[in-house]
Amino acid sequence: MGTFVSTERRDGVAIVTIDNPPMNALSTALLDELEAEVDALDADDDVRAIVLRGGGERAFVAGADIKEFPSLRESAGEGGSARGIQKLGHRMDAAHTSFVAAIRGFCLGGGLELAMCCDVRICADDATLGQPEIKLGLIPGGGGTQRLPRLVGHGRAMLLNLTGDFVDAETAYAWGLVERVVPAAELEDASLAVAGRIASQSPHAVAVLRELARTTRDLPLEEGLRREAEGFVRCLRSEDGAEGVAAFIEKRPPEFTGR
């Protein structure tokens, strides 16, 4: 067990808890530990989906560790925790494994940027989301100016980034910032259900889907479709593809291996 990060496993799903009381602030040490855990889990063939959640009931992650900011002025070129969140996000983007964020309580600043690195966001009805960096005379530095408009559109992203205002869970859902809102008491079960469904699929196909989502989002439609067709052929020629087709024809559950 790490200092800030702990992991438990259930039927192919790794549940990673970020625990830095009272609000799970993303310190540099925490980010390093979380990235190392993502590395280890993504390399483990027995892990087919990862759930990220915050320890306690107050926050998923309330933001970066602002107490570190004064020292960052001395090494501003390194980017500090903002660069750390971006680095972790790049690692998550490149992973074969899919990520589900289980959001409860405050999900602000770097916390929202971390949640936006996940493939799916399940949100408790008590959650509060936003990018409040502007209130400190700063801007989001961990992906908030880039990932947020890709999810909610330019205007809504600018509204959140320029005002620092927060949105509730229902607004986040209506805007497309989260994929599902559930009562807080049901958050763990709902997140595990989604992660479990992903974990039951072909790891090879999941990895190809994630690769296409990452590499084709800003391409012209024609080029995106070309790469999609290539990805389809890769899956069709894989052992998982052969197994999935055979299982369907034989009317039995498939046994995917990730190859």
Catalytic residues: 113, 133
Rounded to an integer, what distance in angstroms lies between the CA atom of residue 39 and that of residue 97? 10
Q: If we measure between CA atoms, which residue out of 161, 142, 163, 139 comes closest to residue 152?
A: 161
Non-local CB neighbours of 244 within 8 Å, separated by 6+ positions: 202, 205, 254, 256
Angle ∠(29,89,214) on CA atoms, nearest 5: 165
Q: What residues does 7 pair with on adjacent strands?
A: 16
Give the span between the Cα atoms of 157 and 197, in whole angstroms.
Answer: 30
